[in-house]
């Protein structure tokens, strides 16, 4: 309990508006350009798959939200496949209970609090949740997992705790209170995708232009560390095997639409 309280206190002391703005300013400054090569080396980033030359980026933020070559992330073409929206690690996969809750790192999450909509939360009783964690090394653009229509999109939350394993364990229900965007998506099945912001830099920038989108089309991008939560209704999908703790690339198949 003391460890958890100390963690929360330290995060709160560094999670104010001034520190967030200072971090954003640093990563978008010309000076941060000097950090790009060391950043790529420390995180072992494959620079061969980046669309632009590494020397063309003006600052660290531009490098972090880098685009990839068109052939770097092939999209599974099975018409009934649902693909990963991001690069990352599938840190949690499980069943949503009859009371619309699920457990992550011994903490109970309420779907209604997560999406801010009781009617929507009711649809996910006995359904499936999936959490994909993006580390600083990952490609940080978000894509749509299937052909669908964006029925609604809105933001919730304000401040953010870290969304890594330590943050999930010691933070206070962070997925439900971090800054996040909620996308209600309708296609062959209805599902919800929730990009969740991480500590200090809460920016999630949408880039899609039409409400009718194709599988693999870009939704937007994160600025720095982040997580994506996916919610599926009961009996809507058949998950691929051995997904939990699997490192995945955007466009790889994660489920079959039933």
Active site residues: 87, 143, 226
Q: What angle do CA 154, 157, 163 make, to 5 degrees?
A: 110
The tokens for 105 are: 């790192």
What gap in Å lies between CA 244 and CA 157, rounded to an integer?
Answer: 27
What gap in Å lies between CA 43 and CA 53, rounded to an integer?
Answer: 17
List, edge to edge, every strand of the sheet that includes 218-222. Answer: 141-143, 218-222, 204-206
Q: How far is the CA of 138 from the CAs of 44, 63, 94, 98, in angstroms?
A: 10, 11, 24, 34
Question: In 3-state terms, what secondary structure has residue 26?
Answer: helix
What gap in Å lies between CA 51 and CA 62, rounded to an integer?
Answer: 12
């Amino acid at each position: 309990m003391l460890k958890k309280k100390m963690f929360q206190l330290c995060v709160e002391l560094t999670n104010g508006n001034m520190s967030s703005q200072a971090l954003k300013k640093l990563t978008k400054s010309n000076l941060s350009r000097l950090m790009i090569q060391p950043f790529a080396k420390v995180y072992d980033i494959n620079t061969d798959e980046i669309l632009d030359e590494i020397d063309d980026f003006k600052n660290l933020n531009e490098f972090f939200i880098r685009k990839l070559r068109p052939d770097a992330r092939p999209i599974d073409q099975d018409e009934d496949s649902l693909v990963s929206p991001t690069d990352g690690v599938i840190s949690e996969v499980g069943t949503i209970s009859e009371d619309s809750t699920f457990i992550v790192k011994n903490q109970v999450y309420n779907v209604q609090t997560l999406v801010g909509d009781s009617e929507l939360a009711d649809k996910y009783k006995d359904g499936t949740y999936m959490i994909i964690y993006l580390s600083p090394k990952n490609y940080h653009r978000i894509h749509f997992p299937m052909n669908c229509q964006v029925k609604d999109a809105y933001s919730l939350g304000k401040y953010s705790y870290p969304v890594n394993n330590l943050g999930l364990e010691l933070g206070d229900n962070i997925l439900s209170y971090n800054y996040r965007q909620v996308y209600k998506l309708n296609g062959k099945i209805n599902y919800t995708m929730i990009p969740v912001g991480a500590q200090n830099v809460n920016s999630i920038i949408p880039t899609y232009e039409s409400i009718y989108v194709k599988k693999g089309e870009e939704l937007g991008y994160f600025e720095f560390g982040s997580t994506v939560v996916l919610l599926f209704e009961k009996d809507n999908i058949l998950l691929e095997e051995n997904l939990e703790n699997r490192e995945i690339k955007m466009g790889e198949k994660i489920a079959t639409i039933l």
